[in-house]
Amino acid sequence: MASSASKGQQANRRPRIGITTYLEPTSWGVWQREAAILPRVYLDAVVAAGGVPLLLPPVGTDPTVLDLLDGLIIAGGCDVDPTSYDAAPHPETVGTQPRRDEHEAILIKAALDTDLPLLAICRGLQMLNVTLGGTLHQHLPDSVAHDDHRPSPAVFGRTEVKVEPDTLTGRLFGERTSVHCYHHQALDKVADSLRVTARAGDGTVEAAEVEGKQFALGVQWHPEENSEDLRLFAALVAEGKKRSPRR
């Protein structure tokens, strides 16, 4: 039987939120080596929302690691390998990392199978769609005739999105919201099990939820870049807190 002290520790334990990382050539001090990296803004957002971030590198993938977590974030990053959705690469599709794609697809499937709260960000939404059988626009300017979603290298744009009512996205953001964006790819054919819950003015899919799941949401924008708006992270941590005592 658990002691009163251990019960108190469990009650006070902050939800553990796993975040996928990626491998890149990296420099620190005198070293130049490949390392698993993730922008700190993801970590700060999880901590500010009341969670504990745990990093999940794309090596040694084991879906049972999710048993230790209360929530999962699929982070943004490089283009998804088009062979994963049976497409030839576009000239603008660069820097793909098939091993990372495989790693994240395994974790996404495991999270959905166990109803682990899931937040997929930018590339994460694209991976969620591809994992469930959807496809991508490989270079969005070909479809919408502008590059406002990625205005210039390393500069985030602002996008106004219209949100569907009676959805998790709608409960969090209301009818409209303004978001930080940086992407040149987006959802094309939407997977059958996904419901589109927000779009930009040009029709680009900006959010989608997995049908029948309590909390499985992907957004095309970058919520981690707005430290003044933690609604997505707070909602994920709150959902993880509900799950935590049951583990």
Of 17, 64, 15, nearest to 43 by C-alpha is 17
What is the torsional sign of CA 129, 133, 134, 139? positive
Assigned domain for 111 exists: yes
pLDDT at 126 over 90: yes
4 belongs to a structural domain: no
Q: Is residue 173 part of a domain?
A: yes
Query: How is the chain split among helix, strand and coil, in percent rounded to 5?
Result: 35, 30, 40
**Interval 225-238: pLDDT, tens:** 999 999 999 999 99
For 155-212, write each residue's pLDDT tens digit.
999 999 999 999 999 999 999 999 999 999 999 999 999 999 999 999 999 999 999 9
224 in catalytic set: yes
Element (H, E) at 226: none
The answer to the question of residue 165 being in a domain is yes
Query: Does a structural domain hold residue 153?
Result: yes
Strand ranges, E, within the chain:
16-20, 22-28, 31-37, 52-56, 71-74, 118-121, 136-137, 157-163, 176-181, 186-187, 194-200, 205-210, 216-219
Q: Tell me the pLDDT tens digit for each residue of 42-85.
A: 999 999 999 999 999 999 999 999 999 999 999 999 999 999 99
Catalytic residue among 122, 181, 184, 209: 122
pTM confidence score: 0.94
The whole-number pLDDT of residue 243 equals 78
Which residues constitute the domain of residue 224? 14-26+33-246
Give the rounded percent of residues in the chain with a pLDDT score beyond 90: 89
Flag whether 200 is in a domain.
Answer: yes
For 247, the token pair is 């583990």
Active site residue 222: yes
Q: Among 76, 61, 59, which residue's Cα sits nearest to residue 127? A: 76
Give just the sign of the alpha carbon dihedral 26, 31, 32, 34: negative
Say if 129 falls within a structural domain. Answer: yes
Q: Is residue 99 part of a domain?
A: yes
Task: Write the CATH number for 107.
Answer: 3.40.50.880
From 104, 206, 209, 224, the catalytic residue: 224
From the list 137, 183, 184, 222, the catalytic residue is 222
- Total domains in the chain come to 1
